[in-house]
Every structure is written in structure tokens, then in C-alpha cells.
Amino acid sequence: MNSITSTEAEYAARAEGLHRSYRRGGSDIPVLRGVTVEFRRGTFTAVMGPSGSGKTTLLHCLAGMDRPDRGQVWWGPAAVHALPERRLARLRREHVGFVFQAFNLMPGMTAAQNVELPGRMAGRRPARTTVRDALARVGLAGRERQRPAQLSGGQQQRVAIARALVSRPRILFADEPTGALDRTTGTQILHLLRDTVDHHGTTCVMVTHDPAAAAHADRVLLLTDGRLVAELHHPTSHGVAEALAGLGGEA
Amino acid sequence: MTAVLAWSQLRRRPAGFAGLAAALLLAVATVTALGALLGAERGVSAAERGQMRGPGLGLIVGAFGEITVLVAFFVALNTLGFALRHQYRDLALLRTLAATPRQIRQLLRRQAGLTVVLVAAPGALLGAAAARALLVALQHRAMAAPHARIHSVLPAAGVATAATLLVAVAAASLTARQVTAPAPAAALADSSGPDRRPGAVRLLAALAALTGGALLVRLAATRPPAEVDKAAQATLLAALVLLVAVALAGPLLTTLVTAPLGRVLRTVLPVTGWQADANLRGYARRLASAVVPIALLTGLSATMATTTGTALRATAGPPGGATSATDSWLRQAELGLLGGFGAIATVTTLVTLTGERRREFALLRLLGATRTDVLRVVALEAALTAALGLLLGGAVTAATTGAFSLAATGSPVPTVPVGTCARIAAAAVLLTVPTALAAATVAMRRPPTAAAG
Ligand SMILES: Nc1ncnc2c1ncn2[C@@H]1O[C@H](COP(=O)(O)OP(=O)(O)OP(=O)(O)O)[C@@H](O)[C@H]1O
Ligand SMILES: [Mg+2]
């Protein structure tokens, strides 16, 4: 077996030398400055760092939702950075699940319809029981027919998680999935993510500000000013908090 | 404070006020033109006036004015609602910052007033030009005295501006209730405007309008053949009143009609159709506000065209011939003006409704839909919207013109000018689908990661 195929087999996603900047007031503000990172199959990674450090931007680039200015993104053997828009959209639909920091749901659709949506777009029709089970797993049994406006922020977030999980993505990205939840519901969600990683071989990448949430992951990446500055394996809540304090930023 | 805020909102979101400005401009222009025409035969001898063909300038202006002025203000009210929708979130935020409902109402009134002031001069100029052109055309057809001429338009313009101002300000107070009625937090949570079930008051009003419309239909149907003119007037008025009923009962009607239509759609197009159906169901009110102007535009024009067609058949003969020809020319002119109003209302509505779905489109793209996929759903939704509008407009046309035909010819089957009606339907679809697609394309210009979240 040569080295390229073993890399492909081993890593669900990897990125090399990612640069991304935004234009603001006539000049380019760098947000990512050369991020190189790999995600082993079936692992759970937490990304942490101060507000504005580029976590969301990194996640968008890794999920093929934003194009880096420079650098490469790979999902297994697929060169994401080189794919044309349409092929990328198709591939993303099949391989990637995403839970956004905010505005996750189609406001006109019911909870169940929102969960069905990606499958529908891929030309499948998810079974009714699958949708119901997915909602039940995030504690929303019986809420199938409600629309986002009738759900709390945390409940909306959970519908988004159900949607991300129902298509059984190979890689699941979640941007502060527990940010709007109380501790009990948050822990429930984290157990759910942990479970999909352990039992379904999903690769999960989660952004969080909460050291206790990060402790559920296999590894923590610390991002500051668009650079990866530290990596913790088998993190504990205490260890993560200390590492963050060492950055001199986050409370 | 509110005056500054009113002005800054206008400057910050000029696009949100474009439709309102266009509608108010046309309202000022119409009233100015009609007023100027009314005064045109001053100083013309009674003998000269007596030689003219047709019903006389005063009656022409009256008939022309009645419907167009009503429609003008209906459209102004509609566009005002959308100007409010554009800034719904800002206003809701203001309310959480302890702005009183009175202040919000005042803010909206100032905005409406300011818009009228901005369009008054160009509207008056447009009205004066239109009055001159119309007078020349009428004189050419010997329907106005050769010595009639447009005197000073200033009084007419003054009255037009004042009337438009009054209506706009009153309408602003009414629409303000949309933001001031819910509690501040509820208003903020519902950032693009509420999508509640229609209230009891609204349904009662719809029922009242429906009853009024039905009475007018009966009035039209029972006129003796000698009173065809009266029957025609009752028919048009009935159409307008029934369309108001449609507007009031819009959310309910669209829900009723979308359900079976959506089921078909989902079966035929499991991907695009399913999405369009889900979106349309979830937003009965949004759909209704897009359907109403289309129903108005097509219902009124088709009623007018069919009434004229039926009347022509009923009075086909030498004496009526000339009158009917000029009469139908007048109807054509009126049709053109109504079309203008309808187009403004339709475009404003669609641009606003599609534009505010920016985040939805971004989300769909992030979930793996391509731009083309999203546009396909939008096109389908727009086509459905047009179809619903045509259906409702067509139903109103059938009811009213059937009654007219019964009065004029004794048969409830009117003479339908198929060509004109096909053109009206085509215009509705051609206005709806490309407008929605263009608005959606603009809404998707920014990368989805920037628009969502
Ligand atoms: N579309 C955009 N246009 C301009 N600047 C942007 C855009 N998106 C993000 N930025 C900027 O990029 C920087 C990083 O943003 P990003 O959303 O990645 O931060 P983050 O680490 O996720 O922060 P938070 O913890 O607050 O969510 C910020 O300074 C932000 O202002
Ligand atoms: Mg973020």
C-alpha cells in the first residue's frame, strides 16, 4: 500500500496551508493564516479559541462551504478545493453534515420537513419513521409538525442536529451546537455526537467555547488569530480551561 | 427624533421604498390628470360641447377615475405594507429599546408623508403630460371639444398631493399595527413579519365584502337591457369589491387551494415540488400577499375586457357602433393604467418577498443545493403563485361577467375575448416568474457563508 492511499484511508478530512481573508474598508484582513490540520476517521475533535479567531471560517472551509484564498482541502481522496460548484454541492450533500451557529432551519418548513430536506435534495425520500426517530433522539418526539417560530432557540438547534445526523454523514461539523442549550440538554447532545463517532464511525468536528463540552472530544485544537497554536489529546475539562487561560484570551 | 429616524430609514433602504414611491407617484399623477381634464372644458360653449360624440368629458373622467383611483389607493396601501416589511426587524428592535407604539406609528406616518412629498412634483408633471395626451386623443376621436384645453394644473396637483398624503398617512397608521400589536419580544423573534392565522375581524370584513360583491353581482344581472351602462358599472364595481374580499381572505383561500395543488406537485416533482409545496404551505400569508396583486391585475383587466366584448356583441348595430368603438378605446386606456398599477404592486411584492429569503437561500446552498436548484424551486413557487392569482382573478371575472352577460344578452355565458385574456394571463406569468428569479439571483449574489448565520 503506498503512502497516498493510506493517508486517504486514514483521514476523513485534511487541510493544508489554508489562508482566508476578508476585505474590509479597502484592505484585506487575514482571518486564517496557514492552517494545516488532519482529522482521523472516527474521531471527535473540538476547535476552541477566542471570539473572532476564525473558528467558524475554518469550519466553513473544511466543509466546502467557503473557498480558501490559498491552500487545499481533502475529503478522503476528493480534492475539495478543485471541485466545480455543482459537483462540490453534490458531494457535500452526501458526505458532510453541518450544524450552524445560527439560522439553521427553513422558517416555512416544519421540524420534520427540515430534517427531511437534505435527503429530498439528494433525490431520496427518508422514511417517516427515520425522521421521527431522529427527532426523538434529540428529545423532540412529538414536535414533528411544529415550525421554527414555535420552537425555542435550543430546540431549533436540536432539529438542526437531527437533520445533520439523519443522513449519516461521514463528517459532521457543528458550530457551537450546545451554545444555546442548558447543561442537561447540552450533555445529551454531546453524548449523541460521541455515540455517532463511536458506533457509526462518523468523524466529528465541533467548535465550542465550553471546556466541559470539549472534554467529550478525543482532541482539542486551539486557534488564535487564524493560526493553530496548540493541540490537546484526551482532554479534560480542567486541562482545556488551563490551556485557554494560557492563551490569555478567553474567559 | 422620529423625523430624523424616518429619513435615515428611507436613505438606508431606498429599495424598500421604491415600490411605495412608484405607487404614490402614479396616484398623484392619476388624480392630477383627471382633475386637469375635468377643468379642460371650462369656457367652452354649451353648443360646441353638445356636438361631441360620447358621454362627455365629465362622465368619461368620472368613469375612468372611479376605478383607477380606488385601485391606485389599494396599491398604495399594499406597497406601504411592504415598505414596513422591509424594516420590520429594525422597528421591532426599536420597540425593545422602549419606543412606544405611538412613536412607531408616527415614524411610519412620517415616512409615508416624506415619500409623498418626494414624488409630488414629478407626479404632477407626469399627470399634466398625461392629461394633455389624453385630451388630444379624445379630441381626435371627437369626444372632447376642439377648444378644450388644459389650464393650470397647479390646483389639480395640489388636490392630488393632499389626497394622496391623507391616504398614505392613514394607511401608515393602519399598517403600523403589524409591528405595534404583538409584544416587543414577539415582534423581534418574528423578524420578517408575522405569519399568523387571519384574525376574526379580517374574516368578518372578508365576509362583508363578499356579501357586498354578491349584491352588486345580482344588481348587475337584474338590470334591464336598456340599462347596459349601469350594468357595466355595477359589474366593474362588483369585481373590485370581490377582489377586496379575496385580498382579505387571501391567506385562508391560498391555504385551501394550495393543499390539493401541492399534493399533485409533490407527486410529479419529488424534489423541487416537495420543497415548493412545503415553503408555500408554511407561508400562507407570504403566498397570499403575492397572489393578491396578481388576482387584482388579472381579475380587473379580464372583467373589463370581457364586459366590453359582451357589450359590443349586445349592441352590434349602426348607432351603437361608433360609441362602442370609442368606448372600447377608453376601456383600453383604462386597462393600460390598471395594468401599470398591477405591475407595480406585483413587482414590489415579489421583490420584497423574495429578497427577504436571502438567508433561506443561503441555508439551502450550504445544505448542498446549487444556485440552479434554488432558482428552480423559486421559479416553481412563482409559477404556482401566478397560477393561484389567475385562478382567483378568473373566478371573480366569471362571476361578474356572467351577471353582466345575463343583463345585456340574456345568456349567462359572456363573450370572452380569448386573445386579450390570454395576453393578460401571459403578462401575469411573464411578470411573476422572471421578477422572482431576478430577485432570487440578486439575493444569492453574496457567498452563502456570508449570508447565513
Ligand atoms: N463575511 C465576512 N466578511 C468580513 N469579515 C468577516 C466575515 N466573516 C467573518 N469575518 C471576520 O472574520 C473574523 C473571524 O470570524 P469567525 O466567524 O471565523 O470567528 P469565530 O472564531 O467563529 O468567532 P465566534 O467565537 O465569535 O463565533 C472576525 O473578525 C470576523 O469579523
Ligand atoms: Mg463562530
Query: Which tens digits make up the pLDDT trace of B390-431?
Result: 999 999 999 999 988 888 888 888 888 888 889 989 999 999
B359–chain A Cβ distance below 8 A for any pair: yes
* Cβ–Cβ below 8 Å for B270 and A120: yes
Q: Examine the domain organization and report whether B375 and B452 are in the same domain.
A: yes
Q: Examine the domain organization and report whether B310 and B356 are in the same domain.
A: yes
Ligand 1 mutation target, pool A33, A53, A244, most atoms within 8 A of CB = A53
Q: Compute the distance from residue A44 Cα to the ligand 1 centre, in Å.
A: 23
Contact B115, B10 (CB under 8 A): yes
Q: Examine the domain organization and report whether B189 and B304 are in the same domain.
A: no
Strand partners, A175: A207
Nearest residue in A to B448, CA atom: A65
Q: Examine the domain organization and report whether B294 and B184 are in the same domain.
A: no
Q: Are strands A44-48 and A203-207 parallel, antiparallel or unpaired?
A: parallel
* Cβ–Cβ below 8 Å for A60 and B372: no
Other Cβ atoms less than 10 A from the Cβ of B316: the count is 10
Number of domains in chain B: 2
Give the per-residue pLDDT at B16: 72
Atom 27, ligand 1: residue with shortest CA distance: A51
Atom 5, ligand 1: residue with shortest CA distance: A22
How far off is chain A from B276, nearest CA to CA, in Å?
A: 10
Residue that finishes a domain, picked among B194, B227, B255: B194
pLDDT 10s digits, B3-13: 666 777 777 77
Q: Examine the domain organization and report whether B346 and B358 are in the same domain.
A: yes
Q: Examine the domain organization and report whether B108 and B7 are in the same domain.
A: yes
Q: Examine the domain organization and report whether B136 and B11 are in the same domain.
A: yes
Give yes or no for residue B132 having a pLDDT over 50. Answer: yes
What is the Cα Rg of chain B in Å? 23
Beta carbon of A129 within 6 Å of any ligand 1 atom: no
Query: Which pLDDT band holds residue A251 (cuts at 50, 70, 90)?
Result: very low
What does the block give as the cell for B139?
379630441
CA B270, CA B18: separation in Å to the nearest integer? 37
Which of A117, A163, A173, A175 is the best substitution to test chain B (most B C-beta atoms within 10 A)? Answer: A117
B366–chain A Cβ distance below 8 A for any pair: yes
Cβ neighbours of A113 in B, within 8 Å: 278, 282
Question: Which residue's C-alpha cell is 478543485?
Answer: A82
Residue that finishes a domain, picked among B194, B216, B231: B194
Beta carbon of A208 within 6 Å of any ligand 1 atom: no
Contact B435, B294 (CB under 8 A): no
Atom 31, ligand 1: residue with shortest CA distance: A52
Residue type, A2: N
CA A201, CA B181: separation in Å to the nearest integer? 51
Question: DSSP 3-state assignment of B104?
Answer: helix
- Does ipTM surpass 0.85 in this model? no
Nearest residue in B to A122, CA atom: B271
Give the per-residue pLDDT at A214: 95
**pTM, 2 dp:** 0.76
Q: Distances in Å between the alpha carbon of B443 and those of A236, A243, B14, B140, B356?
A: 44, 42, 16, 48, 8
Contact B334, B67 (CB under 8 A): yes
The number of CA neighbours under 13 Å toward the Cβ of A111 is 28
Q: Compute the distance from residue A53 Cα to the ligand 2 centre, in Å.
A: 8
* Cβ–Cβ below 8 Å for A65 and B366: yes
Percent of chain A clearing pLDDT 90 (strictly above)? 53
Q: Examine the domain organization and report whether B37 and B48 are in the same domain.
A: yes
Question: Which residue's C-alpha cell is 351603437?
Answer: B320
Query: Which pLDDT band holds residue B194 (cuts at 50, 70, 90)?
Result: very low
Q: Distances in Å between the alpha carbon of B231 and those of B12, B208, B401, B407?
A: 49, 22, 10, 7
CA A59, CA B448: separation in Å to the nearest integer? 14
CA B186, CA B191: separation in Å to the nearest integer? 9
What does the block give as the cell for B430?
411573464
What does the block give as the cell for A83?
471541485
Q: Is the dihedral of CA A81, A87, A89, A91 positive or negative?
A: negative
Tell which residue, B393, B400, B102, has the closest CA to residue B235.
Answer: B400
Question: DSSP 3-state assignment of B197?
Answer: coil
Q: SS3 sequence, B272-341?
A: HHHHHHHHHHHCHHHHHHHHHHHHHHHHHHHHHHHHHHHHHHHCCCHHHHHHHHHHHHHHHHHHHHHHHH
Q: Distances in Å between the alpha carbon of B293 and those of A23, A195, A216, B250, B340?
A: 41, 52, 55, 11, 12
Q: Compute the distance from residue B360 Cα to the ligand 1 centre, in Å.
A: 20
Give yes or no for residue B31 having a pLDDT over 50. Answer: yes
- Which listed ligand is nearest to A30 at the C-alpha? 1
Tell which residue, B274, B215, B279, has the closest CA to residue B242.
Answer: B215
Name which of A100, A105, A118 is nearest B368 (Cβ-Cβ).
A118
- Which listed ligand is nearest to A25 at the C-alpha? 1
Other Cβ atoms less than 10 A from the Cβ of B268: the count is 9
How far off is chain B from A234, nearest CA to CA, in Å?
A: 31
B318–chain A Cβ distance below 8 A for any pair: no
> ∠ CA B243-B349-B439 to the nearest 5 degrees?
145
B371–chain A Cβ distance below 8 A for any pair: yes
Q: Which residue range forms the structural domain that includes residue B227?
A: 195-453
> ∠ CA A224-A205-A222 to the nearest 5 degrees?
20
Burial zone of A227 (CB within 10 Å; 0-12 exposed, 13-18 middle, 19+ buried): middle
Q: Examine the domain organization and report whether B335 and B278 are in the same domain.
A: yes
- Which listed ligand is nearest to A175 at the C-alpha? 2
Task: Give the DSSP letter of residue B54.
Answer: S
Residue B393 CA, chain-centre distance (Å), reads 12
| DSSP-H helix ranges across B42-97 | 46-50, 57-86, 88-96
Give the per-residue pLDDT at A79: 93
Tell which residue, B342, B332, B420, B407, has the closest CA to residue B64.
Answer: B332
A144–chain B Cβ distance below 8 A for any pair: no
Cβ neighbours of B284 in A, within 8 Å: none
pLDDT 10s digits, A85-143: 778 877 887 888 888 877 778 887 889 989 988 888 777 788 889 999 999 988 899 99
Give the per-residue pLDDT at B193: 47
Interface of A with B in 197-226 (CB under 8 A): none
> Residues with Cβ < 8 Å from B97, sequence gap 6 or more?
none
What does the block give as the cell for B114?
416624506
CA B108, CA B175: separation in Å to the nearest integer? 9
| Structure-model confidence comparison of residues A186 and B96, the more confident one | A186
Residue type, B69: V
Nearest residue in A to B377, CA atom: A121
CA B107, CA B172: separation in Å to the nearest integer? 9
DSSP conformation letters of A171-227: EEEEESTTTTS-HHHHHHHHHHHHHHHHHH--EEEEE-S-HHHHTTSSEEEEEETTE
Q: Distances in Å between the alpha carbon of A118 and those of A89, A122, B400, B432?
A: 11, 6, 46, 28
Residue that finishes a domain, picked among B194, B225, B260: B194
pLDDT 10s digits, A131-176: 999 999 888 999 999 988 888 888 888 899 999 888 888 999 999 9
B141–chain A Cβ distance below 8 A for any pair: no
Q: Examine the domain organization and report whether B250 and B287 are in the same domain.
A: yes
Give the per-residue pLDDT at A233: 95
Give the per-residue pLDDT at B318: 46
Contact A48, A21 (CB under 8 A): no
Q: Examine the domain organization and report whether B187 and B244 are in the same domain.
A: no
Beta carbon of A52 within 6 Å of any ligand 1 atom: yes
Q: Examine the domain organization and report whether B347 and B333 are in the same domain.
A: yes
Which of A23, A103, A116, A128 is the best substitution to test chain B (most B C-beta atoms within 10 A)? Answer: A103
> Residues with Cβ < 8 Å from B366, sequence gap 6 or more?
A65, A98, A100, B448, B449, B452
Which of A120, A146, A167, A176 is the best substitution to test chain B (most B C-beta atoms within 10 A)? Answer: A120
